[in-house]
Amino acid sequence: MDRKEQLIIVRGGGDIATGTIYKLNRCGFPVLVLEAEQPSAIRRRVAFSEAVYDGKAQVEDMLCFCVSSLKEAWDVMGEGHVALLKDPECRILREAKPWALVDGILAKRNLGTHRGMAPKTIALGPGFTAGEDVDLVIETMRGHNLGRVIAEGTALPNTGVPGKIGGYDRERVVYAPGAGSVHMICEIGERVEKGQVIAEIVAEAEAESVSGRNAGSASGRLPVKATISGLVRGMIREGYPVTEGFKMADIDPRLEEYENCFTISDKARCIAGGVLEGLLYLERVQGC
């Protein structure tokens, strides 16, 4: 079968999934990304999911276009680009007959992916059992086994602790101090100091009078401060609605890594290699 006919559907277009999407497209596979209505990528400069908002997204030298139909998707993919469709429920499977499907949502649980969706199914990270939910699982935990193809069993469970970068793990991730919409003060790639205000949460709360009548609305701004000094590697979109504790920014303490804010990470590339290996392995053992 010609590679151009081997459609791969990828669920999710965040930064980790984008590494896989990029590699598969470079290898000649047509790739259709299925995304949510309101993606929440932090590393937006390296996430094809941004095409949901802007109509298109560029990651390194590759373009992704948001489409509204399978025909439009094939037109985009035929030109060598990545296509993205807002379809978190995979309704497009009623029309499309993908050669393979990759779950790159990284929700730490299965949001409905199963082996009946495509002849070849692969999932990234915990929440799936290889040989049951999907054919193969790719390890996403940093360490010796990162990118390993798992044919039986599961990936390592989520620890809730971000990967260590420059000696920091939990400290480098910034969470929303309250509910509201995000107002960015600092941009991705900007150098910040610990304690510096990098964003605000614009919150609104209704005040009630003693008699119970609506006394109007009061609005406030909650400052979001840098947890460490470094570079803003990721920041959620302007105006995005968040809840208290929502992951909204990521700071890299390595000041010399400025360019890395705008390129696919080593972790994403390693996982992508595991996906490609897994697909070629399944192609060999299935004979098609």
> According to the model, what pLDDT value does residue 209 have?
33
| pLDDT tens sequence across 161-213 | 777 777 887 899 999 999 999 999 999 999 999 999 999 999 865 323 333 43
Look up residue 91 and give its two tokens.
């309704």
pLDDT tens sequence across 202-239: 986 532 333 343 433 445 899 999 999 999 999 999 99
Q: What is the pLDDT of residue 148?
A: 98
User: For strand 31-35 and strand 8-11, is the pairing parallel, antiparallel, or unpaired?
Assistant: parallel
pLDDT at 167: 83
- CATH code 2.40.50.100 region(s) in the chain: 170-253
Domain at 3-159+266-286, CATH class: alpha beta
The mean per-residue pLDDT over the stretch 85-90 comes to 97
As a CATH number, domain 170-253 is 2.40.50.100
Token duo for residue 253: 């303490």
SS3 call for 170: helix
Residue scoring higher pLDDT (170 or 145): 145
> What was the pLDDT predicted at 12?
98
pLDDT at 205: 55
Domain with CATH 3.40.50 in the chain: 3-159+266-286
pTM: 0.92
Contact predicate 150/121, CB 8 Å:
no
Q: Under a CB-based contact definition with an 8 Å cutoff, are residues 236 and 249 in contact?
A: yes
Q: Which residue has the tokens 């406030």?
A: 220
Considering just the CA atoms, what is the radius of gyration of the chain in Å? 20
Q: What's the rounded mean pLDDT across residues 251-273?
A: 95
Q: Look at residue 76 and tell me whether its pLDDT is greater than 80.
A: yes
Distances (CA, A) of 232 to 195, 253, 266: 13, 9, 18
142 contacts: CB under 8 Å, gap ≥ 6: 163, 164, 267
Residue 209: alpha-carbon gap to chain centroid: 44
